[in-house]
Chains A and B, each alone.
Chain A
């Protein structure tokens, strides 16, 4: 089970084209990641909405195949 970092990054970028994505594998087990995502598309949106955009990009994988992905979103300076 679990997904690899490249797949996660690609899905996020497919869903949020201008996103700069930085993924770290928290435990090296392919199941616990942290993703730091910067995108102009987040501007003016609440944190919940920003994270929902990321979950949408992950097309339902979150909470299923992808057990643990800590998300941090930010807007370009």
Chain B
């Protein structure tokens, strides 16, 4: 992978976002207007679970778009963070939702969601 030197201000910005918000989704587009199927799929999972989250549109911020991939050594968007911890991209979030692991993780981290989902 072409190793761009990412100014650490980007990492600081990222740490700020994932530190101040329980659930953060780096995505293409916004929660209301996702602009990529994979991002939309994660938004759908979070909405079905009634989880409040901060959406960050990487399409409007190229520095974050590159920085977030370096930050987690994860090459794609979307990326979901819960309590500052990288949970995964679309595949992992959907798999965890299907097996109930995502609900367990939310519960263990004290993040509210509607149990019925």
Contact = CB atoms under 8 A, between A and B. Distances in A.
Interface string A48-64: 10011001000110111
Contacts of A59: 1
Given A63-B69, A68-B38, A47 B88 contact: yes
A72 to B, nearest CB: 7
- Residues of B contacting A: mostly: mixed
Interface stretch (B7-15, B45-53, B73-81): B73-81
A75 interface: no
B70 to A, nearest CB: 12
A64 B96 CA distance: 26
A55 B92 CA distance: 14
Interface in B65-117: 69, 73-76, 86-92, 95-96
Contacts, number: 34
A72 B74 contact: no
A63 B38 CA distance: 12
A72 B95 contact: yes
Contacts of B92: 47-48, 51
16 contacts: A47-B92, A47-B95, A48-B86, A48-B92, A51-B74, A51-B88, A51-B89, A51-B92, A55-B75, A59-B1, A60-B75, A62-B76, A63-B75, A63-B76, A64-B75, A71-B91
Given A51-B74, A60-B2, 19 more contacts: A47-B95, A47-B96, A48-B86, A48-B88, A48-B92, A51-B88, A51-B89, A51-B92, A52-B74, A55-B74, A60-B75, A62-B76, A63-B69, A63-B75, A64-B75, A68-B38, A70-B91, A71-B91, A72-B95
